[in-house]
Amino acid sequence: MIETMQKNDSKQFNFKGKNFLQLSDFTTDEILYLLDVAVELKAMQKQGKPHPYLSGQVLGMIFDKSSTRTRVSFEVGMMQLGGQAIFLSSKDSQLGRGESISDTAKVLSRYVDALMIRTFTHESIEEFAHHAEIPVINGLTDLQHPTQVMADLLTILEHKGKLAGLKMCYIGDGYNNMAHSLLEGALKVGIDISIASPEGYMPNQTIVENAKQIAKETGAQITITHNPVEAIQNADVVVTDVWTSMGQEAETEKRLKAFEGFQVNGDLCKHAKSDFIFLHCLPAHRGEEVTADLIDGPHSVVFDEAENRLHAQKAILKEFLQK
């Protein structure tokens, strides 16, 4: 049974005019509210109930980085909400010919109702948001991946029935958009989080300091270590990501050596709780950051997690765009 997320008819949140760039921008109650909306929208979709909240609206999608889950989930999400989505790669737009971010943001603000951007530097999406007159949603940057973590939280909620009081561990590259957004998202909803990474691959220090402040506000615990066994002790949720992310291919051999001992496998997971669940944002490199028997085994919920990109993002789209 899923624990209610504190949403009631008397408590309303106004997301109009806001951007969705990182989870630290939102209160605990706002995140829980969006998760509640995601639960409702998922139930409506499973029951075949139409929910055209965004009829006539258009989402522009800018991709500097290719994607399967991000593109399909946002595009299908807009369709199910009654709207449409337009795909734009940087090479197919004037951005690829040197048009400034500010000019592109101003022009697209007159054509579409919101922008979803999947790009490299976080500064780029912040610049888009600064100049755009419509909501800007972070589909991924090198620093943050907040829409994925909303799907992760929804998946944890479905499988554990609650969020606050659980323990999550992330093992792998700490200087990674998933690690950063998990730090913010888990702590915001009261999940204790531990991160284990090798030297030289620890999380961004500014994000860590912000995370410590969130932890003070929510009472959740944060641990950052070089020891995977320490991190995974009694974990309810085990998470990893690829060791070599998009754009880092030249570092592959160096990273394979650096991350020896940080593979999520059966031996390591003996230190987690017996009913732990395993998350991975995909795509995965079986045999590197995680063994095939684990990601394909009974503890894995990675395909529920992938599906929940659709439902979590629909909640964001509905609340940020509905007129």
Tell me the catalytic residues: 118, 145, 148, 241, 281, 309
Residue 54 near residue 317, CB atoms below 8 Å: yes
Q: Which residues make up each annotated binding site for L-ornithine? A: 177, 241, 245-246
Give Cα separations from 265 to 63, 235, 238 (angstroms).
33, 14, 11
In DSSP notation, 144-195 reads: --HHHHHHHHHHHHHHHS--TT-EEEEES-SSSHHHHHHHHHHHHTT-EEEE
Secondary structure of residue 286 in the 3-state scheme: strand
Residue 222 CA to residue 18 CA, distance in Å, equals 28
Residue among 232, 170, 163 nearest 202 (CA): 170
In which residue are the tokens 């095939």 written?
Answer: 292
- Locate all alpha helices (DSSP H) within the chain, ordered by sequence: 28-46, 69-80, 101-108, 122-131, 146-160, 177-188, 205-218, 228-232, 252-258, 266-269, 292-295, 302-321
Residue 152 makes CB contacts below 8 A (sequence gap 6+) with: 182, 185, 239, 279, 281, 305, 308
Secondary structure of residue 322 in the 3-state scheme: coil
Phi, psi of 282 (to 5 degrees): 65, 150
Q: Which residues make up each annotated binding site for carbamoyl phosphate? A: 67-70, 94, 118, 145-148, 281-282, 309
